[in-house]
Amino acid sequence: MTGTLRAQTHEFSNQLHTISGLVQLEAYDELGAFLGTLNRRRAEISDRVLARVDDPAVAALLIAKTSLAAERRVELVLDPATALPRLGADLSADVGTVLGNLVDNAVDAVASSPDARVEVLLRREEAGPDGPAAVVVRVADSGPGVAEADRDQVFHRGFSTKPTEEGGRGVGLALVQVVCGRRGGSVAVHNAGGAVFAARLPDLEDVTP
């Protein structure tokens, strides 16, 4: 969350500097056009997310992550099959934790690549013979994928393919596994034109005691 807010602060700072400069230059027509563009882009992002995600906290996180990705020249898009209703508070918080860390990991993986893209799928599966209702979170990226030798290790705390001198690495995916495991769910990764991380978080309120 801190990283996302930091990126938004940087983005807003750049926009305010541009606005300030246009005011000082008395370039009011250009200022109006710039503000109109900013407003339109934010409305487009919000409309796309809110059309498919009814949970306020998850929607807010997605909107913020879209800005964070754009700051790093990564396109973050929603899979057309995304459909997420409002969730209970505990499940919403866990989905946010899983989604945020998977998106951060995907953006890191593609940030230096041309045509960098991250696609997010969110949906709720109803209860059935095999188990309770659950939320599925899938995050796919256009990066190089995860090496076969690393697939069993990527969820271990402290493991990272990034430079070891970068502090705090190897925590996000481990946290995703902990959150999913605590709910009796799962998370896995495979390659399909890039890495695809898929997590399943059962709705514990739907479990019959």
Specify the CATH number for the domain of residue 114.
Answer: 3.30.565.10
Give 136's pLDDT tier (boundaries 50, 70, 90): very high
pTM beyond 0.85: no
In the chain, the percentage of residues whose pLDDT exceeds 70 is 82
Give 127's pLDDT tier (boundaries 50, 70, 90): confident
User: Domain total for the chain?
Assistant: 1
CB atoms within 10 A of CB 79: 15
What's the maximum distance between 2 C-alpha atoms anywhere in the chain?
67
Phi, psi of 176 (to 5 degrees): -60, -45
Q: In sequence order, what are the residues at sequence separation of 6 or more whose Cβ sits closer than 8 angstroms to the Cβ of residue 11? A: 67, 70, 71
**pLDDT tens by residue, 22-37:** 788 888 888 787 777 6
Residue 168: predicted pLDDT:
43
Domain ranges, residue 109: 2-206
For residues 182 and 178, give the distance between their C-alpha atoms in angstroms, rounded to a whole number: 6
